[in-house]
Amino acid sequence: MKTITVATLVLTACALQTPATAMRGDSLYVGAVLAAHYEHPVHDPAHHLDTCKPYHHIYAPDGRLLTKGLDGMFEHHRGMFLGWNQITTGKDTFDVWHCRNQETMRHEGFALPEEIGLTGAWQVAKVTWRDGKDNVFVRELRAMRALSRAVGMTSFQIVIELRAEMPLHFGSDPQHSGHQFRALQAFAEKDAPPARYVRPATAKAEPEDVWTGCEWLAQVLPLPDGPVTIVRLEHAGNPSPVISSTRPYGRFGTTFAFDLIPGKPLLLHYTYVVVIGELDKAQCTKIVATEQNAGFR
């Protein structure tokens, strides 16, 4: 790849380049480069934990894999994923973070972008959330597209629709809920260099790697072939207050508490921008400002 400074990437991205995006099967490509792959194993009760939920593997603009799959530290952390461990209704509690009580998130096929109010090259998965008795309690549409912002910079836009089959309360355990990104297992190995984080000036540190006041977070992965930065943007309209969690082994993301009732679906919006190189706070802020105005249609 031609050498381009991070500053040049950030300035070029402000122009919001025309995306070169394609879907091939379960994968999203930017040009000829694989950007994301949707893993959706068929649930097998004999291998429950290995097949209990779908997730996306994410790749850098130069093709390097950035996310962990099965196994490793906290094997239930997989790629870019969604889950809550404290979903309650009456006396029942569901956990689609760990799925230890035979809960599952089942891939049910793909939907058209128009079913979630989108147009264009979106991958839209239909997912049912099921309790240990196979009863559906949430129906999800999980949409993603990958956009080329500049050479060496890819923006992943995510739109999620959640529909409840019964009144539900979602708790906000910052370490075990929300939309999350889990980097490669290599960062969890003994003596491995840790993932580093960049946060806005408004960030306030809380105990246990928890942060408040973050409309965005950025993770810097010190990979052997050069660093990669992942800037994560929480969009206005998601429930608040938002609680962020950043772990040195490579998991980071946000959560919030909310109620979900039948007939009133919830739409969630997230953006992750993957950039070759290490970004500082000022550069992350410029990217965030651009992505806030980019739109999801």
Contact between residue 210 and residue 245 where contact means Cβ atoms under 8 Å apart: yes
Fill in the amino acid letter for 87.
Answer: I
Cis peptide bond prior to 241, omega within 30° of 0: yes
Antiparallel, parallel or unpaired: β 168-170 and 258-260: antiparallel
Q: What is the pTM assigned to this prediction?
A: 0.94
- Tens digit of pLDDT for each residue in 69-120? 999 999 999 999 999 999 999 999 999 999 999 999 999 999 999 999 999 9
Low-confidence ranges of the chain (pLDDT < 70): 1-21
- CA neighbor of 64 nearest in space, from 287, 274, 291: 274
157's tokens: 């836009």
pLDDT, position 214: 96
pLDDT, position 25: 83
Separation of alpha carbons 30 and 23, rounded Å:
9
- Tens digit of pLDDT for each residue in 29-59? 999 999 999 999 999 999 999 999 999 999 9
The alpha carbon dihedral of 216, 200, 176, 180 has a sign of: positive
Measured in degrees and rounded to the nearest 5, phi and psi for residue 217 equal -140, 155
Query: Among 1.10.10, 1.10.3470, 2.70.98, 1.10.150, what is the CATH number of 6-292?
Result: 2.70.98
What's the mean pLDDT when you consider all of the chain?
A: 93
Contact between residue 155 and residue 294 where contact means Cβ atoms under 8 Å apart: yes
pLDDT, position 296: 84
DSSP characters over 129-162: EE-TTS-EEEEEEEEEEEEEEETTEEEEEEEEEE
Separation of alpha carbons 227 and 194, rounded Å:
12
Domains of the chain, by residue range, sit at 6-292
pLDDT, position 4: 45
pLDDT, position 295: 84
